[in-house]
Structure 1
Amino acid sequence: MNVFDRNINFDALMKFSQISRSTQQHLKNVYSSLTICMLVAGVGAYVHVFTRLLQGGLLSFLGSIGLMIWLAMTPHSLETEKKRLAILCGFAFFTGVGLGPAMDFVISVNPSIIVTAFLGTSVIFACFTLSALYAQRRSYLFLGGTLMSGLSVLLLLSMFNMFYGSVMLFKAHMYLGLVVMCGFVLFDTQLIIEKAEMGDKDYIWHCVDLFLDFITIFRKLMMILATNEKDKKKEKK
């Protein structure tokens, strides 16, 4: 064996022997839809930040929730595929608009944080996705209970902090939320694989799970970076 031979077999890297061909095709559809959602959400955020034609807030939140419910109630079939894709794009658009207020705050601190947070989120999402794809099947599904407990803790922290307004609790909520959502990328990816292997090929609805994971990680990371930057500016003063 030549220890200096560092040639990489890229064909081997792209093989997912534990995933059937039909599920691999399903995943391609999921991630293609996810890419479209990212672009449409970017347009929604642009509309809020630069045009002010739509404002992120209660109405955009209700719009995204309404479209998600409509998507969930629309059956998955070839006849409804285009309709459901249009609903998905509408959901992504209003979700992007809903990011507007958080982005306004970040821009007031340092606009470059948005780019940094997006790149960081992309790296985090890609790493955890690849970990889930290459790991043994079902190996991360056990995280479901732990992650739901984490969400319950986050909800309690949020409710508790509504009355006390603690900066420390706010930061703890952001960091814990980031960790929990990274775990959901692992869990949701493997859950989508298992559903596909069982015959559930609704790639549009599966895309919603990963899209929400990405957006939540982006929001958390963006706020963490902005808060840290703001604290540094206060210390300099």
Structure 2
Amino acid sequence: MEAASSFFESRSRGWNVNSLMNFSHLNSRVQLHLRKVYTTLCLSLLVASLGVYAHMLVNLGGFLTSMAFIGCVMWLMSVPSYEEGKRWKILMGASFLEGLSIGPLIDLCNNLFPDSGLVLTAFLGTIAIFASFSGAALFAKRREYLFLGGILSSAVSAMLTLRFCSYFFGGASAMFNLELYGGLLVFVGYVLFDTQLIIERADKGDDDYIQHTLDLFMDFVSIFVRILVILTKNAGEKSRKEESRRKRSQ
């Protein structure tokens, strides 16, 4: 018993708030860069939420805003990194357009299940997943998750190939589920990979926090959309089962 108690005491001394917030393995330049990245990411998510709200008011989101978002991303990548102010505005514009683009999905979920809180649940779940895996990448050993880059790229290529094949050989439903759940795992993996890649690039002098913010923003939105679709799909299946039970009981 004494040995067990001493073990847990030593573990409790090792895990405290100070040790949790200890980023001594990252130099001051990288820490400053990460603060700028995550601050800009929070602003981007806020602007995206304004885009969702704008869609709710005037129904602007759709295919055109999705294409405009892709155009903004390409524009951002073409602007030199020293034009920071211009690139920051483009990033905020892209975030607003992405909010408009996912607005119809959120609107549909609210219309189908108005009192379920699916959107809030999906958002909080995304925050929890993103924070957990981003934190794991920050506290892990340097370059520990960079090997995921090749695996994740291969997984994306495989899913695209399977989607193309499903157009000719059928299996659209199975392909949808594979893309939904497999895509969620892939983008969770990208949170690990992108976070460590940002650290490595910042350590080597790459201080393009706007591009790095865009990478994490797209990871966050991709996870959120998939969680929301999964929750909506499950809620729909539950609703159909309850409806069939009521019909059988009548």
TM-score range, shorter chain: over 0.9
The one-letter amino acid paired with 2:17 is F
Unaligned residue ranges in structure 2 (runs of 5+): 1-5, 244-250
Q: Distance in 1 between matches of 2:31 and 2:235?
A: 41
Could you say which residue in structure 2 is the equivalent of 1:86?
A: 89
Residue 221 of structure 2 is aligned to residue 218 of structure 1? no
Residue 65 (str. 1) matches residue 89 (str. 2): no
Other-structure match for 2:180: 174
Which letter maps to 2:230?
I
Shift of 1:71: 1.1
- 2:233 paired with 1:236: no
Q: Which amino acid aligns with 2:108?
A: F
2:112 corresponds in structure 1 to 109
Q: Does the residue aligned with 2:23 lie in a helix, a strand or coil?
A: coil
State the alpha-carbon separation in 2 of the partners of residues 190 and 177 from structure 1. Answer: 20
Could you tell me which of 129, 151, 155 is aligned with 1:146?
151
C-alpha displacement at 1:106, in angstroms?
Answer: 1.6
Letter aligned with residue 88 of structure 1: L
Name structure 1 gaps, 5 residues minimum: none
1:157 Cα deviation after fit: 3.0
Instruction: State TM-score, norm by structure 2.
Output: 0.88
Pick the aligned partner of 2:30 from 8, 20, 23: 23
8 Å Cα contact 1:129/1:186 also seen in 2: yes
Q: Report how far residue 2 of structure 1 moved.
A: 8.0
Give yes or no for the alignment of 1:188 onto 2:191.
no
Structure-2 change in CA distance of 1:144 and 1:3 (3 Å): closer
Identity across the alignment (%): 42
Over 3 Å counting, the alpha-carbon distance change for 1:222 and 1:161 in structure 2 is farther
Structure 1 distance, partners of 2:61, 2:7, is: 61
Aligned counterparts, 1:110-125, within 5 A: 110-111=113-114, 112-125=117-130
By percentage of residues, which structure has more helix?
2
The answer to whether the Cα contact below 8 Å between 1:161 and 1:170 also exists between their aligned partners in 2 is no
Structure whose alpha-carbon radius of gyration is higher? 2
Q: TM-score, normalised by structure 1?
A: 0.92
What residue in structure 1 maps to residue 248 of structure 2? Answer: none
